[in-house]
Amino acid sequence: MQVKSLQASPEQLKDLEDKPQPVAAEFLGTLLLVFFGVGAAVLAAEYVGSLGIALTFGFVMLALAYAIGPVSGSHLNPAVTLGMFLAGRLDLELAVKYWVAQLVGGIAGAALLLLVAKQVPGLQTSETFGSNGFGDRSAVHINTGGAFVAELVLTFLFVYTVLAVTHKVAVVGFDGLPIGIALAVVHLVGIPLTGTSVNPARSLGPAIFAGGAALTQLWLFIVAPLVGGAIAAYVHVLTHPQPNRRPRREMRVS
């Protein structure tokens, strides 16, 4: 049985690095993910509930996987990009470009959402605004350790799914379906616990505009997802054949 390579070729990586479209796609995709996903929590939670918020994140991710997946891989998440980098599918230079685009896109999406939210009379945004939290900012008052473990495990599932169903860099065929489902599932579990981050870019934008405790607790929603994404990359190597994987020192884009 022939096993498909999970390793991006130097030609594919060079093609991504030489063109602005992948980075622009990551910016736009993250902006839209934050605007619609967090927007469901900020503007429509009373009407759609936790299930509706989870499905919004999942469906938006699914749509964007098909819309921009063939262009950039539709990471839209620094934890996913870290997993792809550690799995040997991205060059460090391109990974850094993706991280910058995702973080700026998350802030821009939150800013656009704030502009809409301010037009709704009586809507509270200070220290809330769809930001993530633990302790008294959690629906179930989960403590710091519990929140860290929860975010780590939830991110692990999501990033592991992305790595397992995709080949090389691009999202093709039916790859987007399990990715969207995985994001919806982790939100179903995570919303009562922390509001569900699993994505530092998703957490950064709302926290900046919420201020207060949302900012002081932000560190956990950056560190835990990145740790979860890194673990997912290494576990994926153990569970899936990597016939053409090369040592990172040999990976060059000329």
For residue 101 the two structure tokens come to: 């685009």
Residue with more model confidence, 167 or 76:
76
What share of the chain has pLDDT > 90, as a percent? 73
For residue 238 the two structure tokens come to: 């153990």
Using CB atoms within 10 Å of the CB of residue 168, give its burial: 0 to 12 exposed, 13 to 18 middle, 19+ buried: middle
Residue with more model confidence, 3 or 89:
89
Q: What pLDDT does 11 receive?
A: 53
- Let me know the angle formed at the C-alpha of 108 by 132 and 151, rounded to the nearest 5 degrees: 25
Q: What pLDDT does 170 receive?
A: 59
Task: Assign 175 a pLDDT band (cuts: 50, 70, 90).
Answer: confident
For 247, phi then psi, to 5°, come to -55, 145
Is pLDDT above 70 for 240?
A: yes
Q: What pLDDT does 176 receive?
A: 82
Is pLDDT above 60 for 252?
A: no
Question: Which of 113, 88, 111, 116 shows the shortest CA–CA distance to 234?
Answer: 88
Is pLDDT above 70 for 10?
A: no
Q: What pLDDT does 97 receive?
A: 96
pTM passes above 0.85: yes
| For the chain, the helix, strand and coil percentages under 3-state DSSP, each to the nearest 5 | 70, 0, 30
Mean pLDDT of the chain: 87
* Cβ neighbours for 10, distance < 8 A, ≥ 6 positions apart: 251, 252, 253, 254
Task: Assign 168 a pLDDT band (cuts: 50, 70, 90).
Answer: low
